[in-house]
């Protein structure tokens, strides 16, 4: 087992002696973060509101519906739009264009129904297959539950103690029927700010360039593995009591450590100098960084075992860099693209990594919001690693 660490330490020594490593892993991402940051208005003065925009059509107009709107207005996750001049059709157009993340309809009779102890359904149009849709759903559900339970409690308290049993049953049964009905839509969901703002723009470009150049930097890592094979040092390693699996894991560990260190340095840089709030949720941020590093390191391993020479290692690093970055939303936020492009984008690991980072820094979501992106990244890591292991077995025989 200790040989895994010996091989990783040797690899790191080799990789760090290559000046291209620093160029790709540190200098280029910082330079391009500034470049793209300027392009997206990251250094212009603007008001940042990273919350998800949700339109409300209040058909009820009663006290309790207004209280619900009031609760949602104070949300840290969604921002409310209400315009009496706009119809449902108008809002649906905005939803389709991606200018809205959801439409909440509070039906007529909502207040009366609540006061009589029943649970009138709310109606939400959003794409609940995406993170933003489920986030809105959770937030509205939480606010509606809060309001409903308050009403139920008030009603129960207003009854005599002799009627405790039926009142309790009534309060308990109140939770059996959810107070919201979701209507899923395939419309594009606007998960970012409506306009480019300083923080949001840099929160887009900082992780985007970090991920993009992490992949580009794989060319030096891949070259180390290629050269090991080319000089027949790999064959020599296999004449020692070192297992193939240990050699593979040693290389993987080296790339992972390198990328994770890169992420830590660049996230710290982003936090201190670009005001991108990576450490708002430190555990979530670290989890995304670890998952991204595991995934990209496995890709590096795959490149190293597939490339036959250094030129191929360079090509095999740059091709996924362009492909994954372009499709995965590193150049243009996926929120600004069509639903089809978003779906295609999420075939790449970069899209999931971007989701993870932006859920923390742009959408201001909690730890749970990075679990799905991290699971997807872990899945890619396993896939890439298994492919690399299969290929490594063949090339080392």
Is residue 17 near another protein by the rule CB under 8 A? yes
The 3-state DSSP class for residue 317 equals helix
20 binds another protein (CB under 8 A): no
Q: Which of residues 215-274 bind another protein (CB under 8 A)?
A: 227-228, 231-233, 235-242
Can you tell me the distance from the alpha carbon of 298 to that of 380, in angstroms, rounded to the nearest whole number? 8
Residue closer to another protein by CB (options 222, 270) is 222
- The contacts of residue 380 (CB under 8 Å, 6+ apart) are 295, 298, 299, 349, 352
**131-157 and 164-173 are packed helices; what angle lies between their axes, rounded to 10 degrees?**
170
Ramachandran region, residue 79 (left: φ > 0; alpha: ψ -120 to 50; beta: rest): beta
Give 238 or 257: the residue with its C-beta nearer to another protein.
Answer: 238
Q: Nearer to another protein by C-beta: 74 or 240?
A: 240
Choices 2-10, 187-195, 206-214, 254-262 (CB under 8 A): range interacting with another protein: 2-10
Count residues binding another protein (CB under 8 A): 22
Shortest CB 13 distance to another protein, Å: 7
Q: CB of 219: closest distance to another protein in angstroms?
A: 15
Beta-strand relationship, 180-184 and 52-58 = unpaired
User: Is residue 18 within the footprint of another protein (CB under 8 A)?
Assistant: yes
Pick the closer one to another protein by CB: 181 or 232. Answer: 232
The span from the CA of 327 to the CA of 349, in Å, is 10
- Residue closer to another protein, measured from CB, 114 or 237: 237
- In the complex, the smallest distance separating the C-beta of residue 242 from another protein, rounded to whole angstroms, is 5
Q: Does 137 bind another protein (CB under 8 A)?
A: no
Q: Which of 325, 342, 361, 326 has its CA nearest to residue 192?
A: 361
Per-position x/- string for 183-202, each x denoting binding to another protein as judged by CB under 8 A, each - no binding? --------------------
Which candidate, 206, 330, 323, places its Cα nearest to that of 262?
Answer: 206
Beta bridge partners of 105: 57, 123
Is 3 a binder of another protein (CB under 8 A)? yes
Site for another protein in 66-85 (CB under 8 A): none
* C-beta of 157 vs 241, nearer to another protein: 241
For residue 81, how many other CB atoms are within 10 A of its CB?
Answer: 16
CA 361 to chain centroid, in Å, comes to 10
- Per-position DSSP letters for 206-217, written without gaps between them: HHHHHHHHHHHT
Q: Using CB under 8 A, list all residues that contact another protein.
A: 2-3, 6, 10, 13-14, 17-18, 227-228, 231-233, 235-242, 397
């Amino acid at each position: 087992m200790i040989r895994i660490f010996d091989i990783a330490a040797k690899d790191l020594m080799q990789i760090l002696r290559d000046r291209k490593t620093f160029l790709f892993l540190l200098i280029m991402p910082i330079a391009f973060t500034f470049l793209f940051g300027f392009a997206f208005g990251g250094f212009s003065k603007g008001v940042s509101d990273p919350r998800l925009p949700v339109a409300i059509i209040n058909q009820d107009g009663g006290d309790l519906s207004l209280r619900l709107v009031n609760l949602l207005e104070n949300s840290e996750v969604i921002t409310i739009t209400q315009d009496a001049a706009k119809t449902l059709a108008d809002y649906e157009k905005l939803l389709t264009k991606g200018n809205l993340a959801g439409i909440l309809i509070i039906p007529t009779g909502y207040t009366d129904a609540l006061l009589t102890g029943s649970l009138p359904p709310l109606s939400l149009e959003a794409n609940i297959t995406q993170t933003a849709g489920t986030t809105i759903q959770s937030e509205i559900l939480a606010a509606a539950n809060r309001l409903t339970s308050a009403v139920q409690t008030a009603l129960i308290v207003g009854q005599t103690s002799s009627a405790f049993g039926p009142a309790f049953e009534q309060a308990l049964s109140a939770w059996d029927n959810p107070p919201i009905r979701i209507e899923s839509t395939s419309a594009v969901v606007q998960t970012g700010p409506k306009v480019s703002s300083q923080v949001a723009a840099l929160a887009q470009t900082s992780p985007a360039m970090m991920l993009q150049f992490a992949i580009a930097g794989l060319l030096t890592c891949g070259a180390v593995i290629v050269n090991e094979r080319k000089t027949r040092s790999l064959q020599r390693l296999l004449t020692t009591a070192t297992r193939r699996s240990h050699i593979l894991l040693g290389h993987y560990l080296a790339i992972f450590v390198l990328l994770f260190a890169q992420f830590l340095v660049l996230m710290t840089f982003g936090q201190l100098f670009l005001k991108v709030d990576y450490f708002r949720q430190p555990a979530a941020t670290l989890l995304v960084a670890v998952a991204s590093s595991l995934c990209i390191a496995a890709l590096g391993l795959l490149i190293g075992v597939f490339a036959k020479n250094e030129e191929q290692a360079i090509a095999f690093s740059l091709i996924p860099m362009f492909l994954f970055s372009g499709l995965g939303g590193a150049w243009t936020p996926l929120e600004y693209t069509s639903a089809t492009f978003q779906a295609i984008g999420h075939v790449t690991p970069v899209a999931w990594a971007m989701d993870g980072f932006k859920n923390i820094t742009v959408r201001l979501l909690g730890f749970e919001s990075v679990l799905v992106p991290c699971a997807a990244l872990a899945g890619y890591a396993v896939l890439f690693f298994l492919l690399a292991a299969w290929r490594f077995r063949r090339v080392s025989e």
